[in-house]
Chains A and B, each alone.
Chain A
Amino acid sequence: MIGHDVFLPTPLPVLCVGITVMLAATAWRRSVNRSFLTGMVTLLLALVFAGRHTGTALDNGDSLFIQDQWANYTAILIMFSSMCILLMSWRDDAHDRTTSLVDEYPLLCMLGTLGALTMVFSANYMPFFLGLEILGVSLMGLVTFRHRPVMPGYEAAMKYLILSGVSSAILLFGVGLAYGVTGSLRFMPPVTIGDISPALPVSATIMILVGMFFKLSAVPFHMWLLDVMEGAPVPVAAFLAVVSKIAIFSSLVRYFGTGNQPPFLNDILYVVIILTIMGGNLLALRQTSLTRLLACSSIAHVGYLLIAFLCPGRLQSGAITIYLLAYTASTLGVFATIAAFATPDGPDGTVIAQWKGLFFTRPFLASALSLMLLSLAGIPPGIGFFAKFEIAATGVEYQRNLLLGALIIGSIIGLYYYLNIIRVMMSAPSLPSASLNRHVRPELMALVIVLTIIVVIGGLFPARALHPLLPVSAIPSDTEAEMTMR
């Protein structure tokens, strides 16, 4: 029964309660603002309780959930991102003239966050799978919140539904095979036991990997991301790019561990990383839509992250933590700037050409956006610089020369398209200044400022960001032992 002895990281019940309260409030009287407020408060509470849990974990590692530094770190990132995203979309929907009440939006956001957190904390296939699906289904709903035109939103939802259905099925099939092999649902790669041939666990692992790659949008499985992000409203795109990626990456690291990967995985990862970096960057070159471009860039960044994942060593944990932070802060910053720039009845800021001359009309926003983009490109003084530096360091330490080559080439290509946006902002303005968003919402402005400060401070003093998060290799120790045993 649900007793004090069940191990459960506190943020999960806090979120559940929050969602229930929100639901109840909605049932009582619908109010968008109240929903948003409830969501914010819930997330804040969850953040406060981030490091805590109820009950005690089972010694044999059979608990459904796990809580360690890594999980806490990614959970904090996720909750923080969710808060940012809620903030980004707050009055956006409240002032939407076409629909009077859209309080499902914060509800779905919260549900998505819950799913992501569940994945992060899970130590068992079952919560992992449930979290994944909660996140996925919430996203399907969220994607359709686009104002105008509506059709792309539905189309995106449809694509996401079918594709994620396929990938979930693949992943589940893999999980089923793993379960069949080991008889346990513990969240770790299956190992051969008894008379069962080793081919089966291999195929199970690969299928799980493919499912995760789909959610991570690594290259052969990346196509949905562009369309879905374009079809989705800007904050939801941010959600897709940040929250769901962090969650799945967190699970990936937990699942495979941070040690040496078995050779067959190594090969596949090698290929996928190179494809991801090259494909993501090359695709981004020709995009004219900012959200699509960011989708491509997030694909590329996943590739960079995977390099660190593939290079176990002293620097790995630091590289992954700082890179996640850099990616989160910078991407959120870009999306926040887009949201700040967008107007209810003017340009929505997703087409790059609309940004022409922003440097002259909105110098602060333009500077902030430039800083974020530079950080994404890995140029000082943004935090992304140090993050990329760390990634390269792990690569060098492990002598993954091919990957480093891809990193360099990808970075140079990336530099081009990031700078291209800055270039557009610096060209002479073409829009009549009337159509500009004159009144940026204060909370959005505050968000942009906060993210800017994070990016700069993180870039100048990365040690502060690096230090407390270091013990990242906090996968269950026995898993590690098994990994090394193999």
Chain B
Amino acid sequence: MGEILLPLLILSPLAASLILFVTAGRMSAYAVGTVACVSMGISAVISVVLSVLLLSGPATGIVQATLWPWMHIAGFSADIAFMLDRISMVMILVVTIVGLLIHIYAANYMRDDPGIARFFGCMTLFVASMLVLVLASDLLCLFIGWEGVGLCSYLLIGFWYDNPVNTAAARKAFYMTRMGDAALLCGMLLLATAVGSLDIGAVLAAVTNGQVTSSAVNMAAFFILIGALAKSAQIPFQTWLPDAMAGPTPTSALIHAATMVTAGVYLIARLHDLFDLATPVMALTAVLGALTILMGACTALVQSDLKRVLAWSTISQLGYMFLALGCGVWQAALFHLMTHAFFKALLFLTAGAVIVRTHHEQDIFRLGGLRHTMPGLTAAFVIGASALAGLPLVTAGFYSKEMILSGVWPAHFRLTHELILSGHFLWGMALLGAFLTALYIFRCVFIVFFGKSGTTMRGQTSRFMTIPLGCLCVLSLCGGIIEMPTTFPPLHLFSALLDPAASHSHADEPGWLILAGAIVPLAGLGVAWVLWGRPSPVMREIPGQAAVIRFARTGEGIDMLYDRLFVQPFRFLTWLTRHDILDYVITGTGRLARTASTSVLRARTDFLGTLALWGTSGIRGADRLLGQIQNGRVRWYAAWIAGGLCAALAMAVLS
């Protein structure tokens, strides 16, 4: 049964996408929304059924569906094949359920847009690609989904193509992820060369069996890491994600929460056996993740655009996941991925609802006091913010973050014999990140929802939009209790789900770690209240000159830097070389040939003139002689005949 359901799971959104594209512009907005939501609903149901199937089976059981051979050739083979195991099960649940909620929301949100069919076509395609990515049992097959999400994100970010800024943002997203894709492709090529197949199971088996040299493993891991970094907008590829806010809000929610950016995390989690063998790459992952946490948080702190704050927060949160992956606790990363999907979707959708009702006002400083006019949305946003900040006990974010922090603490990387990178240091950075997270998200909360009201409102958030919000609220609050720190009741549902065989002994974990993790977000909340929350806030506007703020803007600075370093020179160089150099060369040769022909013509008048010049005067210029001598003279022709005779005789003499 699973073999049938697995393709169906992907087929459902794919079919919806096809229907929507083919009938573009012929269906009513309502029908479009219905088709999209129904297809998503079907896949959600299927994914639940599949999960039940999988969980009812043995612990290591998988559902596999090999559809058809893709490329079979000497030395390499690949199939179109799908596989469901525990890791992908988590992913499909997240993708389909969160996706379904977002779709329901979007059906209402995009109701009036003329391009709604295109929108939902892309959205469903997006989900389908993500499902392919998640379910693929073959890296090459995964790559289809991998590029597919990139393409869909491009189409969705640039959805409102009237504005060049949007399309530029879309292209930027595609280019940057494409660079990562190229690297990923290289990694895949390396693995394919070494293993002869890209089937994930086969690859991992070959790697763990030691069939692949360690340098190859390191290189492959490195290449794949680059791909993942680009897809997940980590340092140094982080700049595309904030710009990607140009798309409609549900798109942002989908990109940030359920699909696209989580692909990188998923990929590394999926290949964790490979990464475990590549210590330097793991260290790099962890360090980059930690840096991204801080960088994203700092930048989020100084943003004035509501959606941008959320975007940078996504980057920062993804940093946590990469930190966890780098430290080898990929279960924690996946857990955080799940909870993050819940609360980030909630935050985005709420923000979208707010933005719609405030006439597309996104500047947080022009908003304010919204809690009076829209209490429901305020509650939802606060719940999301709490989960993001990881307020202890009541939110899902707390548990997942706690799992990461506890996983990071004991990690250490033996890079060389002397150089050992300790997890404690990374833990400190993560903790600092947690503080900043609370600070910036509550800054938003306080500025937008508290204080004086700044803008006019309109309408009411419709019912179809509130239902998903409600669901997400619940999930954000309660989604975390399935996995608890060891000091709490030993509830390890999630880890057990993923890795039933693993033992959970975090005995060496000091108890104060949990405490620190719990207190820090609260401290952040407090500081935020002190700075922005009180009736007369300490910092109402951004003090742009403050050195610390400027430092915190590095996220954007890097964007500028890339622009100067890569984009502008590229543009300039392409502009310079817009004409084909070789073409010039050839044309020049042609001109040369024509000159040669002219000189051949002139030669018959020049020859004797030159001889006479040498013989007689040597004083008078050749020019005057040339002037006297014209073409078409019999005597010169005769002279050439005589000359030819002379030359022929001379050749005979000399030979």
Q: Which of A's residues lie within 8 Å of B, judged by CB?
A: 158-159, 162-163, 166-167, 170, 202-203, 206-207, 209-210, 213-214, 220-221, 223-224, 227, 263-264, 267-268, 271, 279, 282-283, 285-286, 413
List 10 other contacts, CB 8 Å, given A167-B641, A214-B641, A264-B652: A202-B652, A206-B645, A210-B648, A223-B636, A263-B655, A268-B652, A279-B600, A282-B597, A282-B600, A286-B594
B266 nearest CB across to chain A (Å): 59
Residues from chain B with Cβ under 8 Å of A271 in the complex:
651
Contacts of A227 in B (CB 8 A): 632
**Distance to closest chain A CB from B171 (angstroms):** 41
Chain A residues near B645: list those with CB within 8 A: 170, 206-207, 210
User: Is there contact, CB below 8 Å, between B649 and A206?
Assistant: yes
Min C-beta distance of B606 to chain A, whole Å = 13
Q: Indicate whether B502 reaches chain A with its CB closer than 8 angstroms.
A: no
The smallest beta-carbon distance between A168 and chain B, in angstroms, is 11
Complex contacts, B600 vs chain A, CB 8 Å:
279, 282-283
A170 touches B651 (CB 8 A): no
8 chain-A/chain-B pairs, Cβ below 8 angstroms: A163-B637, A220-B644, A223-B636, A224-B637, A227-B632, A271-B651, A283-B597, A286-B594
The 3 closest A-B pairs by CB, nearest first: A220-B644, A282-B597, A285-B597
Q: How far is the CA of A264 from the CA of B638 in the complex (A)?
A: 24
Question: Given the known A-B contacts A264-B652, A264-B655, are A166 and B594 also in contact in the complex, defined by CB atoms under 8 Å?
Answer: no
B467 within 8 A of A: no
Q: Mark B597-611, 1 if CB is under 8 A from A, else 0.
A: 110110010000000
Q: Is the CB of B601 within 8 A of A283?
A: yes
Which residues B581-603 have CB closer than 8 A to chain A? 593-594, 596-598, 600-601
Chain B residues 629-655 with CB under 8 Å of chain A are: 632, 634, 636-638, 640-645, 647-649, 651-652, 655
User: Which A residues touch B593, using CB under 8 A?
Assistant: 282, 285, 413
Is the Cβ of B644 less than 8 Å from the Cβ of A221? yes
The reply to whether A159 and B637 contact each other, CB–CB distance below 8 Å, is yes
- Whether B648 pairs with A223 at a CB distance below 8 angstroms is no
Contact B651 A286 (CB under 8 A): no
Residues of A within 8 A of B638 (CB): 162-163, 166
Find chain B residues with CB under 8 A from A283 CB: 597, 600-601
CA gap between A162 and B601 in the complex, in Å:
21
Considering the chains assembled together, what is the distance between the CA atoms of A23 and B652 in angstroms?
47
B644 and chain A: residue at smallest CB distance: A220
CB distance from B637 to the nearest CB of A (A): 4
Question: Considering the chains assembled together, what is the distance between the CA atoms of A166 and B639 in angstroms?
Answer: 10
What residues on A are CB-neighbors of B655 within 8 Å?
Answer: 263-264, 267
What is the distance, in angstroms, from B403's C-beta to the closest C-beta of chain A?
A: 74
| CB-CB nearest in chain B for A205 | B652
Closest partner residue, chain A, to B590 (CB atom)? A416
How many Å from the CB of A160 to the closest CB on chain B? 9
Specify which of B598, B604, B645, B647 lies most central, judged by the most chain A CB atoms within 10 Å of its CB.
B645
Pair A268/B634 contact, Cβ less than 8 Å: no
The CA-CA distance from A224 to B649 in the complex, in Å, is 22
The distance in angstroms between the C-alpha atoms of A355 and B637, with both chains bound, is 31
CB <8 Å contact, B601 and A166:
no
Min CB gap B574→A, angstroms: 32
Interface residues of B (CB under 8 A from A): 593-594, 596-598, 600-601, 604, 632, 634, 636-638, 640-645, 647-649, 651-652, 655
Give bound CA distance, A207 to B641, whole Å.
Answer: 11
State whether A206 and B641 are in contact (beta carbons under 8 Å apart), knowing that A279-B600, A282-B596, A283-B601 are contacts in the complex: no
Q: Contact between A162 and B648 (Cβ–Cβ < 8 Å)? A: no
Most buried by A among B600, B636, B640, B648: B648
A285 near B641: Cβ-Cβ < 8 Å: no
Q: Which residues of A contact B597 (CB under 8 A)?
A: 282-283, 285-286
- Are A206 and B652 within 8 A (Cβ)? yes
Q: With both chains docked as a complex, state the minimum distance between the C-beta of B10 and any C-beta of chain A, in angstroms.
A: 54
B641 touching A162, Cβ below 8 Å: no
Measured in the bound complex, the distance between the Cα atoms of B638 and A202 in whole Å is 23
Q: Select from chain A the residue with minimum beta-carbon distance to B633.
A: A159
- A222, closest chain B residue (CB): B640
| In contact, B641 and A170 (Cβ under 8 angstroms) | yes
Residues in A neighbouring B637, C-beta threshold 8 A: 159, 163, 223-224
Q: Which of A167, A220, A263 has the most CB of B within 10 A?
A: A220
Docked-complex contact A210 and B641, CB < 8 angstroms: yes
The listed residue (B604, B632, B634) touching A163 by CB distance below 8 A is B634
Distance in angstroms between the alpha carbons of A172 and B571 in the assembled complex: 74
> Which of chain B's residues have a CB closer than 8 A to the CB of A224?
637
Q: Are A203 and B601 in contact (CB under 8 A)?
A: no
Q: Quick one: which of A162, A220, A279, A286 contacts B634, CB cutoff 8 A?
A: A162
- Which residues of B lie under 8 Å from residue A203 when comparing CB positions? 649, 652
Nearest chain A residue, comparing its CB with the CB of B635: A162
Q: How far is the CB of A395 from chain B (nearest CB, A)?
A: 22
> How far, in whole Å, are A170 and B641 apart by their CA atoms in the complex?
10
Complex Cα spacing A439 to B450, Å: 96
In the assembled complex, the Cα of A271 lies from the Cα of B645 at a distance in Å of: 13
| A207 shortest CB reach to chain B, Å | 7
- Alpha-carbon distance between A203 and B651 when the two chains are bound, in angstroms: 11
Query: Whose C-beta in chain A lies nearest to the C-beta of B632?
Result: A227
In contact, B640 and A220 (Cβ under 8 angstroms): yes
Chain A residues with Cβ below 8 Å from B642 are: 166
Chain A residues contacting B641 (CB-CB under 8 Å) are 163, 166-167, 170, 210, 214, 220-221
Which residues of chain A are within 8 angstroms of B643 by Cβ–Cβ distance? 220
Q: Which residue of B lies closest to A210 (CB)?
A: B645
Complex interface: chain B residues within 8 A of A166 (CB): 638, 641-642
Which residue of B is nearest A202, CB measured?
B652
Check if B647 sits within 8 Å of A220, measured CB to CB.
Answer: yes
| CB closest chain-A residue, reference B594 | A285
Chain B residues with CB below 8 A from A282, complex form = 593, 596-597, 600
Taking the closest CB of chain A, its distance from the CB of B611, in whole angstroms, is: 15
CB proximity of B601 to chain A, nearest CB, Å? 7
Q: Smallest Cβ distance from A269 to chain B, in angstroms? A: 10
Instruction: Determine the residue in chain B with the shortest Cβ distance to A280.
Output: B600
- By the criterion CB–CB under 8 Å, are A268 and B651 in contact? yes
Which one of B596, B600, B601 has the greatest number of beta carbons of chain A within 10 Å?
A: B600
Q: Which residues of B contact A159 (CB under 8 A)?
A: 634, 637
Which A residues are CB-close (under 8 A) to B634? 158-159, 162-163
A223 to B641, CA, bound (A): 9
Chain A contacts for B596, CB-based, 8 A: 282
Are B604 and A223 neighbours in the complex by a CB distance under 8 Å? yes
Complex Cα distance, B604 from A209, in Å, reads 21
Selected from B594, B640, B652, the residue in CB contact (under 8 A) with A223 is B640
CA distance A282 to B641 in the complex (A): 20
Closest residue of chain A to B604, judged by CB? A223
Q: In the bound complex, how far is the Cα of B604 from the Cα of A220, in angstroms?
A: 9
CA distance A480 to B594 in the complex (A): 44
- Give every chain B residue within 8 A of A264 (Cβ-Cβ): 651-652, 655
- Residues of B near A221 (CB, < 8 A) are 640-641, 644
Report the nearest B residue to A160, measured CB to CB.
B634
Contacts of B649 in A (CB 8 A): 203, 206
Instruction: Determine the distance from Cα of A162 to Cα of B644 in the docked complex, in whole angstroms.
Output: 17
Tell me whether B601 and A286 are in contact (CB under 8 A).
yes
CB of A209 within 8 A of CB of B598, answer: no
Q: CA–CA, A69 to B10, complex, Å?
A: 82
Q: Give the interface centre of B596, B644, B647 by most chain A CB atoms within 10 Å.
A: B644
A214 to B638, CA, bound (A): 10
- The residue in chain B whose Cβ has the minimal distance to the Cβ of A278 is B600
Distance to closest chain B CB from A296 (angstroms): 10
Interface centre among B593, B596, B597 (most CB of A within 10 A): B597
Q: Which residue of A lies closest to B599 (CB)?
A: A282
**Bound complex: CA A306 to CA B645 (Å):** 18
Quick one: closest A residue to B640, CB to CB? A220
Q: Is there an interface contact between B644 and A210, defined as CB atoms closer than 8 Å?
A: yes
Task: Compute how far the CA of A295 lies from the CA of B643 in the bound complex, rounded to whole angstroms.
Answer: 22
Report how far A264 CA is from B649 CA in the complex, Å.
Answer: 10
Q: What CA separation (Å) do A129 and B241 show in the bound complex?
A: 93
> CA–CA, A93 to B632, complex, Å?
28
On chain B, the residues within 8 Å of A206 by CB distance are 645, 648-649, 652
